Amino acid sequence: MKTFTEYMWFYTKKRREYINITGDVEEVLRKSGIKEGMILVSAMHITAGVYVNDAESGLIQDIDDWLENLAPFKHDYRHHRTGEDNGDAHLKSLLIHHEVIVPVTDGKLDLGPWQQVYYAEFDGMRRKRLIIKVMGE
């Protein structure tokens, strides 16, 4: 089994952003030369996440509204007693999760017809990192 690893860096302009990284993940897969296996895409920060879903703007806004409803930005999180102000970002990350694994078949991401890979930032406006690790033959 071979492995290939690359990192992506993000510096978002807003606190919350959803970035379609499918093309970036496909490019890493292409560079790896791996034809059969899997690819791990994982946010390396506890206030960000990675998910697979449809690339439709209304759905992305629905996801953002849903997350804000479940884990709203507010000032009275216990976490904020540490001097931080991102308690909601930690909770949103738990809801989205920090990583996905996508099958690789015949050198391509084996996604469904509308599936795309997204990086979700919940505490942006600072430098963040993501790992993409391809494993297979």
Q: Is the pTM of this model over 0.85?
A: yes
Residue 6 structure tokens: 């690359």
Collapsing DSSP to helix, strand or coil, 137 comes out as coil
pLDDT value of residue 11? 97
Bridge partners of 42, per DSSP, are: 99, 131
Q: Are 3 and 135 contacting, i.e. CB atoms less than 8 angstroms apart?
A: yes
Between the CA of residue 131 and those of 21, 24, 111, what are the distances in Å? 12, 11, 19
- In the chain, the domains with their CATH numbers are 2-136 (2.60.120.460)
Per-residue pLDDT of the chain (137 residues), as tens digits, is: 999 999 999 999 999 999 999 999 999 999 999 999 999 999 999 999 999 999 999 999 999 999 999 999 999 999 999 999 999 999 999 999 999 999 999 999 999 999 999 999 999 999 999 999 999 99
Unique residue bearing structure tokens 């909601």: 88
d(CA 111, CA 98): 18
